Amino acid sequence: MKTLENKVAIVTGAGMGIGKAIALLYAAEGAKVVVSDINEQAGNEVLAELLKNGAEAIFVKANTAIPAEQEALVNETVKHFGALHIACNNAGIGGPLAPVGEYPLDGWEKVININLSGVFYGMRYQLPAMLASGGGSIVNISSILGQVGTPTSPAYVAAKHGVVGLTKSAALAYANKNIRVNAVGPGYIKTPLLNALDEATMNFLTTLHPIGRLGEASEVAELVLWLSSSKSSFVTGSYYAIDGGYLAQ
């Protein structure tokens, strides 16, 4: 029997990068997957790949920063598959780069809305659906910058720290209700988010990781899979770095 057999899972930001890798691995392990992304074309491409591989899956377009769209995402999931057991709140953006005293106000608002409020809105509607389904597991994607700072990404750092705190609060509230909530903190991962960086910047980022390379989206997906499955049944309220040694320095 596959690890996630007969489970229903939502993955936000599933159109590319880490979210795509998670959606594909969930499906490979037997889950019925709801691919969600604000990018309809990217989301449908992932859906097509899942269906080609024989998975049960649908695509639901949703902006995680809009509560009504998060509610609709959960409602559509339950309507189509009859339950919700797993959610990975992965959608996020990097935002502008500037120190706090120069940071654009619209950039702050956008990053906080997507990276922090979006996780709250997701759990706000996922949790009642999971209770009705008999329990489940939520994995929120934070970052190494959910534990440490960096000078020019104050909104991202604040949001990712907030995700860790929000995860702990939700985990405590639902620990005796058969719902586990955990956070994952990736280091720099080779995804389309890094495509705009030049070679020198990429080389510099690589040097920040003692293991000597950037991470792969598939490696993050393996950790998320474990946290989503019954194999991590005694784990809740935790933050797991997957960072090639970044935070050990």
Catalytic site positions? 156
Q: What is the rounded distance in angstroms from the CA atom of residue 212 to the CA atom of residue 65?
A: 35
Backbone angles phi, psi at 97, to 5 degrees: -115, 115
End-to-end CA distance of the chain: 40
Backbone angles phi, psi at 236, to 5 degrees: -155, 150
Name the 3-class secondary structure at 36: strand
Give alpha helix (H) positions in the chain: 17-28, 40-52, 67-81, 105-112, 118-132, 154-174, 199-207, 217-228
